[in-house]
Chains A and B, each alone.
Chain A
């Protein structure tokens, strides 16, 4: 007879929602702009509400509202990290696990997407030249190659590597890579390169028409349309430092012939 219960340790990949202002109305508004008002943006990832960077703690928190807001975008909030003392009790009542700043630090904080793509077949990429101020590029993992269009509702995550997609990314599909994203065919969905903070990652496509592009967390959405000189054209998205030394997301056309 097997035991009715067993305990094993394991690690769980989780998203961190780093919340700086605990104000649901503002959060709802910001998420709407960031995620293009797309319900179910995420795919049910376990999520830690991270309050380590909270600027000012409100007297009380509307946890129920916050949980429902996060769930609306397809996140599953499970815990809160470093909640201010006076909010701990209400968070616990709302069903959240309470984590201190370091305790329960999850092994990897990024979207957990089961790659539905075939196993990588390409040889490992040459290590890119990293300039000193950049996090090291992901190395050692062969480029992931996806030979079919990525369809609405599908999500692919190229962990620790670049991804090449032959056939395009539909509206409502999402492609995420720790390295760069190379899309041959129309890029109409969401593309997030440098998912672990690799700022030299790029998004390159033969036909630029995305809902969102993001490099190392710097993102842009296109609800109001894409500039005519870029729309449907070969283009790449790249982070470049501006005069003030800040990284800005630039989208530039590419001359392919």
Chain B
């Protein structure tokens, strides 16, 4: 059975595309046949982060409008065997994503034997974001530890409850996961940032992971390699943990406690 997972947030720039790329890669590394779709029509970011922008010929909207078939449009990932990218188009016409069109593409992916389809949602609560979440079985709600991001995540959770196909058909609700990104244990320790516990307490959604703020995320995007592939890197390890928890493994939270380096050095003589 194919599972459709939307990566969404309401607020822009919180790390949806970064997370979609690494999460999809992580699932593929575990051997699952995975597709990741960019719903951000007009902005197209995912292909850059996945490093496949030069190989884009056809896109999601071409497939929906029948100009190309899925086999032509899916781009095989450079880094993992089982991963395919369906890029967004440059069109300004956001209504090109029709509900029937999206449903048909998802059904075709199901018939092609995909285990997971990851939908990278655009920001906001408009058409594109709604299309990305409509057919979701599960949702990863990406939130930064700040009030405006939490508000928007709360809003998108409400929309998931009312506008998803599962909600409309009265099926079992979309399974929700909270992913906190750009987390700085140091700033939390200094009282400048909300802690992950505060965020979870406000949103009341099970936590699937906390991704630390890390410079290597930007480096990874610039080199077109999702950060999860970076060796010995906190953000990469945190994304590995997210994939493990998603697949039902127990993993303790890491990178959430700040150790004051001065004290450490004084005690152990650095």
Contact = CB atoms under 8 A, between A and B. Distances in A.
A154 B204 contact: no
Given A148-B161, A153-B158, A154-B162, 11 more contacts: A116-B161, A118-B170, A150-B158, A151-B158, A151-B161, A152-B151, A152-B158, A153-B159, A170-B158, A172-B154, A173-B158
Interface residues of A, number: 16
Contacts of B158: 150-154, 170, 173
Interface of A: 116, 118, 148-154, 167-168, 170-173, 185
Nearest to B156: A151
A185 B158 CA distance: 16
B35 interface: no
A167 B204 contact: yes
A185 B204 contact: yes
B4 interface: no
B155 interface: yes
Contacts of A150: 158
B154 A151 contact: yes
Contacts of B202: 170
Interface in B143-188: 151, 154-155, 157-159, 161-162, 170, 173
A171 B155 CA distance: 10
- The listed residue with most A CB atoms (<10 A of its CB), out of B154, B155, B204, is B154
B75 to A, nearest CB: 36
B209 to A, nearest CB: 21
27 contacts: A116-B162, A118-B170, A148-B173, A149-B204, A150-B158, A151-B154, A151-B155, A151-B157, A151-B161, A152-B151, A152-B154, A152-B155, A153-B155, A153-B158, A153-B159, A154-B158, A154-B161, A154-B162, A167-B204, A168-B204, A170-B154, A170-B158, A171-B151, A171-B154, A172-B155, A173-B158, A185-B204
- The listed residue with most B CB atoms (<10 A of its CB), out of A148, A152, A167, is A152
A172 B161 contact: no
Contacts of A172: 151, 154-155
A113 to B, nearest CB: 12
Contacts of A116: 161-162
